[in-house]
Amino acid sequence: MLKLVVLSGAGVSAESGLNTFRDSNGLWENYRIEDVATPEAFLLNPELVLSFYNMRRQQVLKAEPNDAHKSLEIYNNAKTKSGRTLGIQIITQNVDDLHERAGSGSVLHLHGEILKARSTTHPHLIYDWKRDITLSDRCEQGSQLRPHIVWFNEEVPLMDEAIALVQKADILLIVGTSLAVYPAAGLVHYRQELCPVYLVDPNLSEVPGVHPLYLYKEEAGHGIIKALQHIIENY
């Protein structure tokens, strides 16, 4: 099997109508990130934070997978030029479920999942959650529920698991991410020596210290198909 690890970011879901994490004016859905995406913000104004993520949750529920999501499932288990089976593992910075709805079964959500809620004091208590979270919603132990999201200033619980996946990759495909948010952006440097990197992004031109690098300066939907075709035809 040829192990392809895909690191996907906001640019993948943008083509499904979901706003990217930070636009040109430094705001996210017209909110300051510091006001809605930190544990401090939740302590200061939990109603505002819950309202913001309730809005995002409804946006995700209305969105549909696009060609980038669908292509990863279509090419999974495809035969490459050498006769090996392409096995695709996705590590996503996105909190939506569009990869799963497109059919992908191996998805690690590095920054959490918007369609889940968890206890504020018992983090192992996690619930599937598609409706709004309110200040009256409690876990079975009586603690307030919050979005199952990794906020700024919080540890990334699945980082070690993501590193282990990258270390075992034969090929790394990075799509729709600015490689500016750490620690996720540092995953590329855990790959094996000479593990080829495919980068799909209309704005990025290089990744320092990465070679070999195949660059596709295109939006996710078109660029990811070209990258996958190149992998199938050359490995």
Taking only the tens of pLDDT, the chain with its 235 residues reads 999 999 999 999 999 999 766 554 555 667 888 899 999 999 999 999 999 999 999 999 999 999 999 999 999 999 999 999 999 999 999 999 999 999 999 999 999 999 999 999 999 999 999 999 999 999 999 999 999 999 999 999 999 999 999 999 999 999 998 777 778 889 999 999 899 999 999 887 777 678 889 999 999 999 999 999 999 999 9
| Bridge-based pairing state of the strands 112-119 and 126-128 | antiparallel
Helices 220-234 and 67-75, axial angle in degrees (round to 10): 20
Give CA–CA dist 163/168, Å, rounded.
Answer: 9
Q: What is the pLDDT of residue 178?
A: 77
209: helix, coil or strand? coil
Amino acid at 190: Y
| pTM, two decimal places | 0.94
Q: What is the pLDDT of residue 182?
A: 78
Question: How many Cβ atoms sit within 10 Å of the Cβ of residue 85?
Answer: 11
Q: What is the pLDDT of residue 22?
A: 58
Question: Cβ(220)–Cβ(14) under 8 Å?
Answer: yes
Q: What is the pLDDT of residue 197?
A: 95
Tell me which residues are annotated as active site: 111
Amino acid at 168: K
